[in-house]
């Protein structure tokens, strides 16, 4: 748990503050961290999953954060949105994190979030929010002009949507940890998780250019993990 909280601690600024907020901040690194900590809603357990998702795709795929976590007009949470830019190609990475006490509920919440993400209204709202949030100082702003072109059909404003799903839940894999059996048990749980997602079904909606990536993260106790993180942030 200590390793986890120390690792997450180092990502709070990257997750909590936009490029504009970091660029315009006047103060030393410690003051910047305190400012980021104030912007992190530590009491919301769902944010823990979103933060872990942010870290996972930044480290695994070197994504570029575009927009931090916001709420849309339906008071639905938008996880932070990232991008991978290859020349003129735009991959939008729109996260769907899920935190729950059991795997079934976590998967159900994750799939519901994905289906909301790929709906036409949600995508239109997301693209509007993206283009209005991006500051002129953002280093890749010019490459994202296509996202804001309302003359283009929505599925021509980007080349691909990647939806990384981060599933975190309390699990006996950790509470009853067995070094000899862990890898086999973990792989079995991943397979179970994938089958549950497949069975529940993802609505492709109006977009055919969708790729799903699943990150599976069992823990002993979500609440204890979050409490340990809050303690680390305030130390």
Full domain range(s) for residue 110? 45-220
Q: Does some domain include residue 20?
A: no
Q: Does some domain include residue 91?
A: yes
Is 235 strand, coil or helix?
coil
What are the tens digits of pLDDT across the range 97-147? 999 999 999 999 999 888 888 887 778 877 877 777 677 777 777 888 888
Q: Where are the alpha helices (DSSP H) in 62-92?
A: none
pLDDT of residue 168: 95
Q: Does some domain include residue 12?
A: no
pTM here? 0.88
Q: Does some domain include residue 51?
A: yes
- Asked whether 18 and 67 are in contact (CB, 8 A), the reply is yes
The two beta strands, 160-170 and 89-94, are parallel
Residues above pLDDT 90, as percent of the chain: 40
Q: Does some domain include residue 26?
A: no
Q: Pick the residue with more confidence: 188 or 19?
A: 188
- Domain total of the chain: 1
What are the tens digits of pLDDT across the range 134-180? 777 777 778 888 887 888 888 888 898 899 999 999 999 999 999 89
Name the pLDDT band for 184 (thresholds 50, 70, 90).
Answer: very high
- Asked whether 8 and 219 are in contact (CB, 8 A), the reply is no
Q: Does some domain include residue 112?
A: yes
Buried b (16+ CB within 10 A) or exposed e, 107-134: bbbbbebbbbbbeeebbebbbebbbeeb
């Amino acid at each position: 748990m200590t390793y986890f909280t120390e690792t997450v601690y180092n990502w709070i600024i990257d997750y909590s503050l936009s490029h504009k907020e970091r660029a315009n901040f006047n103060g030393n690194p410690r003051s910047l961290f305190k400012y980021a900590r104030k912007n992190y809603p530590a009491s919301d357990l769902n944010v823990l999953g979103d933060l872990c998702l942010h870290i996972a795709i930044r480290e695994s795929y070197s994504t570029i954060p575009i927009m931090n976590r916001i709420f849309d007009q339906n008071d639905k949470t938008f996880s932070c949105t990232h991008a991978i830019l290859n020349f003129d190609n735009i991959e939008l990475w729109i996260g769907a994190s899920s935190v729950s006490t059991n795997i079934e509920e976590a998967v159900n919440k994750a799939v519901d979030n994905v289906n909301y993400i790929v709906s036409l209204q949600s995508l239109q709202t997301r693209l509007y929010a993206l283009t209005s949030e991006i500051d002129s100082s953002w280093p890749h702003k010019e490459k994202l002009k296509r996202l804001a072109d309302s003359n283009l059909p929505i599925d021509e404003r980007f080349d691909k949507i990647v939806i990384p799903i981060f599933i975190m839940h309390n699990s006996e894999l950790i509470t009853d940890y067995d070094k000899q059996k862990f890898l086999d048990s973990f792989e079995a749980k991943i397979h179970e998780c994938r089958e549950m997602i497949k069975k529940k079904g993802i609505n492709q909606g109006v977009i055919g250019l969708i790729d799903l990536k699943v990150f599976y993260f069992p823990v002993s106790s979500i609440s204890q993990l979050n409490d340990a993180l809050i303690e680390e942030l305030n130390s």
